Structure formats: structure tokens, C-alpha cells
Amino acid sequence: MNEATPIKRGRKFDQVLEGAREVFMADGYEGASVDAIARAAGVSKATLYSYFADKSLLFMEVAKTECLTQIEEAGRILAAYDHPRTVLGQSGRRMMRLVLSPFGQAIFRMCVAERDRFPELGREFYRTGPEVFHGTMCAYFEQAVAKGDLVIDDLKLATDQFIELCHAQLFTQMVFGIRETATEEEISRIVDGAVDTFMARYGSQ
């Protein structure tokens, strides 16, 4: 695979993508077979390969689509302006549910594992996922500063700091295989702590 590898779009494209999403969500990247994806999509393997030259391309297209869906939903939360404490709690939980899910962990592992062979995979995913979320958060922080709810000089740095605060403990433990899942209570504990720390630094007095 290389950066010039095209992705064909046609009448069964969405059908293939939805079947792949179902299988990847259930089995992860490593456990998903092309045969299982073709069955779930209701197409032949030949049809599947006519759209996607290999499984990694298909996985990244599913990953980008899923992340964009999450980002659109987060964008709606951020667009309906509310106090930062409320918005950050909602956005942090949504982000971490995806990042800590089996699917989210599979995305991360694949981008790291294939970095040397297929660096464009991680770059493309970053451009269409984390980078878009980062920009959306920056835009919200700009509004919050204008309204006097936050005091921030460096919006990009503050956005990075909030995201990293949300990644504390649970994300690291999953990356190193210390744990396989996280409960809603555990996610809330980390995100609520991230919000408290962020507001202590940037909240208006």
C-alpha cells in the first residue's frame, strides 16, 4: 500500500463500510477477516477488494468515518454554548469512550505498529480525527474566553493539556496491557479530575 493507492467509491461503498465497521467493532483489526467482512457486508470478496485494495485501507476508512461521527456529535455539544465545566465533562467523556473502546485501541495499535511501513495511515487518521477535534475544542475555548468564562493565552496549548489530562491513567494502562476495559465510573473519575484541574488553571475567578 502507498499514498497513491486509490479508494474506489460506488453504489456498494457504504454497504462495505458498514459491514466492515460491524466486524472491526466486534473483533478488532487483528481478529477481523476479509471473509467475515464480506459476509457482514453482503458482498463478494472480489467486490470488497474492488473498493479497498487491502484490509488496512478499509480499517482506516472505517476509523476515520467513526471518528468524524464522534467529532460531529462533539461539535454539536460545543456549538450549543454552555459553561466550560459542563461542556468539558461531556466532551471528555465522549472522547474517552471512543479512545478506550476496543475499536479505539485497535486504531491506536495499528497506527503505531504500521508507522514505519505505512506512515501515511497515521498521518491521514490524525488529520481527519484528532486534529479536527483539537480545532473544534480550540474554537470553543475562544468563545469561552470571549464570554469571560475562561482566561487562556495559548488556546492550542490549553487544548492539548485538557486532552492529555483526560488520557491520565486509563489510557496508559490500556496501551501497556495492564487492563482491557474501563467502566463509566472510572472514565468519569478521570474526566472529572481533568475538568477540575483545567478549571483551576484557566477558569475565571
The fold adopted by the segment(s) 13-202 is: Tetracycline Repressor; domain 2 (1.10.357)
Query: Comparing 114 with 3, which gets the higher pLDDT?
Result: 114
pLDDT of the residue at 7: 56
Q: Among the listed ranges 116-120, 167-171, 175-179, which one has the minimum average pLDDT value?
A: 116-120
Report pLDDT digits (tens) over 109-130.
Answer: 877 877 787 777 778 778 878 8
Domain range summary for the chain, segments of one domain joined by +: 13-202
Q: Output the nine-digit C-alpha cell for 101.
A: 473502546
Structure letter (DSSP) for residue 114: T
Report pLDDT digits (tens) over 12-58.
Answer: 888 999 999 888 877 777 788 999 999 999 999 999 998 888 888 88
Between CA 92 and CA 84 the distance in angstroms is: 11
CB 31 within 8 A of CB 105: no
205 exposure class (CB count in 10 Å sphere: 0-12, 13-18, 19+): exposed
How much is the average pLDDT of 134-147? Answer: 93
pLDDT tops 50 at residue 2? no
Average pLDDT along the chain: 86
* Percentage of residues of the chain with pLDDT beyond 90: 45
